[in-house]
Structure formats: C-alpha cells, structure tokens
Amino acid sequence: MSERILIAKVGLDGHDRGIKVVARILRDAGFEVIYTGLFQTPQTVAAAAVDEDVDAIGLSMLSGAHMTLAPLVVEAVRKLGSEIPVILGGIVPDHDLDQLTAAGIAAVLTPGATAVEIATEVRAVLDRANT
C-alpha cells in the first residue's frame, strides 16, 4: 500500500499554486495525497492527519507566518500523541531554518526544489520516521 501524505494550508494564506503542484508531484511519485483545502488551523490539520492515519504532513506557507504557525502544527500533532513528521514547503528564508528544526519540523523545501528533490526529501523523512 502506498504511503499517505496529508498536505495542508494553515492560516489565511490563499496561495495554492505550489501546494497543488506538489500534490501532483507526490502523486506521480507514488504517494497517496490528501489535501485539506484552504484556511485550516493547526488543530484541524492535526486531527485530520491522525484520523486519516497519514505517514507525513506537508505544509505550504508563503505569507511569512511559518515561524508562528508551523511549530503550532507540530505541537498540535504531538498533543494528540502522534509522531507524524511535519514537512514545510514555501518561502522560508535561510535565517529561519535552525529555529524550525528546533521546533520539530522534519524538513524544509524552498523555492526551486525540483520534483525529484521533493519526492526524495519526503521519502527520506518517511525513512527516518520509520527507523
């Protein structure tokens, strides 16, 4: 059975071009992809991820709110007793990376990542989570 990825837009950011392209890239790479739609909260994403028993969560953030919202998603997932890894994609300046890793974000994908790089990174995160 193929692994399931929940991809989500949290907060008010409506930019959904990237997440839709990534959804198709992951699907083409053999993953099963579930998309939450826009305007989710950390809690709704965490609940959906646990309900759907996904293997990873992918967040797409382009509004600059990632430093506030991405850690809250990790927190909400852990609160439900789950270790599902959370991957962040979008506009993330280099100077934010250390803090995001410290907050438990499993990987960060930034503009310019190719289809192969995205699929490879997601695969690597899943492999790490399974060991």
Q: Strands (DSSP E) along the chain, which ranges?
A: 4-8, 32-35, 56-61, 86-90, 107-109
Residue with token string 């934010």 = 96
The answer to the question of residue 37 lying near another protein (CB under 8 A) is yes
R_g over Cα of the chain: 13
Among 91, 103, 104, 121, binds another protein (CB under 8 A): 91
Q: Whose CA is closest to 70, among 102, 32, 106, 100?
A: 100
Region of 24-32, 47-55, 81-89, 123-131 interacting with another protein (CB under 8 A): 24-32
Q: Alpha carbon of 111 to those of 12, 100, 117: distances in Å?
A: 20, 17, 11
Distance of CA 103 to the CA centre of its chain: 14
The answer to the question of residue 98 lying near another protein (CB under 8 A) is no
The answer to the question of residue 111 lying near another protein (CB under 8 A) is yes
Q: Distance between CA atoms of 128 and 131, rounded to whole angstroms?
A: 5
The answer to the question of residue 33 lying near another protein (CB under 8 A) is yes
Among 63, 75, 82, 103, binds another protein (CB under 8 A): 63
Q: How far is the CB of 27 from another protein (least distance, A)?
A: 8
Among 13, 77, 100, 125, binds another protein (CB under 8 A): 13
Distance of CA 79 to the CA centre of its chain: 17
Q: How far is the CB of 17 from another protein (least distance, A)?
A: 5
Contact residues: another protein, CB under 8 A: 11-17, 20-21, 23-25, 27, 33, 35-39, 41, 63-65, 67-69, 91, 93-95, 110-112, 114-116
